[in-house]
């Protein structure tokens, strides 16, 4: 099917990728200038050349392309390595109801909603500025199963029979009692904490409410370079935060 004006596509060169809108001006890169108007009537999988004759492959963007290249970021987001660990360690199902709090830019909420095609994610954010940015990003994601509430979750959780609650906020320990009431039996609460002192406060409240399967992980990913000599890269993002998992029984 031919591409249409306004459609988002990803242009791949040997070393770079660019998320662009079909028909919207020109793309300036180190490999030359690409006239995006010439993308009209091209197809996914076709190639296009810059004015220097360099080739770009036209591909369909996925969620990570949109998150990394189109969405507005506030100072801190939950990285994909931690978002993926939440899914892997809770076994959240496609039909699940998820409550997220401390929306920020909305990255985690969008990531989760993408993996719950017949489920629903409700995300809470009390900061007006953050909520405005998150709403813009949610609209860009095009996900219909994601709703934002501008509300302080420490005052309570509206949803019932929730399968998963994720917290990335100040004083998450204040939400544990509300999480216990809102969760279905067997449901999970996951807390992202930048500091170990916050973890201790959360675990104390989890034990008061008789949560089980409490587990704390630090998810460190180290990238390697494979050239003439193979070794770990000297620059990288190692520690991001702690993830605390607990299950309601």
79 CB-contact burial (10 Å; exposed 0-12 / middle 13-18 / buried 19+):
middle
| 138 in any annotated domain | yes
Domain co-membership, 132 together with 153: yes
Q: What pLDDT is recorded for position 75? A: 64
Residue 27 has pLDDT above 80, yes or no: yes
| 2 in any annotated domain | no
The pLDDT tens digits of the residues spanning 28-38 come to 988 888 889 88
Q: What is the CATH number of the domain that holds 27?
A: 3.10.330.20
Q: What is the CATH number of the domain that holds 159?
A: 3.40.50.150
Query: Which is higher by pLDDT, 203 or 21?
Result: 203
Query: Number of structural domains, the chain?
Result: 2
Q: How far is CA 214 from CA 21, 31, 48, 108, 162, in A?
A: 45, 51, 52, 21, 18
Last residue of a domain, one of 61, 77, 93: 61
| 156 in any annotated domain | yes
| pLDDT above 70 as % of the chain | 99
Last residue of a domain, one of 41, 61, 81: 61
The pLDDT tens digits of the residues spanning 85-121 come to 999 999 999 999 999 999 999 999 999 999 999 999 9
Residue 1 has pLDDT above 80, yes or no: no
* Domain of 16, in residue numbers: 8-61
Domain co-membership, 141 together with 190: yes
| 33 in any annotated domain | yes
Domain co-membership, 215 together with 104: yes
Residue 227 has pLDDT above 90, yes or no: no
What average pLDDT does the segment 175-181 reach?
Answer: 98
What is the secondary structure of 50-80 as a DSSP string? -TT--EEEEE---HHHHHHHTS---S----H
Q: How many CB atoms lie within 10 A of CB 56?
A: 26
Domain co-membership, 16 together with 91: no
| 75 in any annotated domain | yes
Q: Two tokens at 230?
A: 């193979």
The pLDDT tens digits of the residues spanning 145-159 come to 999 999 999 999 999
| 208 in any annotated domain | yes
Length of the chain: 249
- At 165 the three-state DSSP class reads strand
């Amino acid at each position: 099917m031919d591409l249409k004006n306004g459609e988002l596509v990803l242009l791949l060169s040997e070393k770079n990728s660019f998320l662009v809108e079909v028909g919207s001006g020109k793309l300036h890169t180190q490999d030359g200038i690409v006239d995006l108007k010439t993308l009209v009537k091209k197809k996914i999988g076709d190639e296009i050349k810059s004015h220097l004759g360099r080739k770009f492959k036209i591909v369909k963007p996925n969620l990570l392309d949109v998150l990394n290249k189109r969405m507005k970021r506030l100072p801190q987001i939950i990285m994909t390595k931690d978002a993926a660990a939440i899914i892997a360690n809770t076994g959240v199902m496609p039909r699940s109801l998820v409550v997220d709090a401390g929306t920020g830019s909305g990255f985690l909420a969008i990531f989760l909603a993408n993996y719950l095609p017949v489920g629903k994610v409700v995300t809470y954010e009390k900061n007006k500025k953050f909520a405005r940015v998150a709403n813009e990003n949610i609209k860009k994601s095009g996900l219909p199963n994601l709703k934002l509430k501008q509300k302080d979750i420490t005052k309570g959780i509206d949803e019932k029979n929730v399968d998963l609650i994720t917290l990335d906020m100040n004083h998450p320990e204040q939400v544990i009692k509300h999480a216990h009431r809102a969760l279905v039996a067997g449901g999970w609460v996951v807390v992202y904490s930048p500091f170990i002192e916050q973890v201790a406060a959360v675990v104390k409240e989890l034990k008061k409410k008789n949560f089980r399967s409490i587990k704390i992980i630090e998810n460190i990913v180290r990238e390697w370079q494979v050239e003439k000599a193979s070794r770990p890269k000297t620059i990288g993002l190692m520690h991001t935060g702690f993830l605390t998992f607990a299950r309601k029984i």
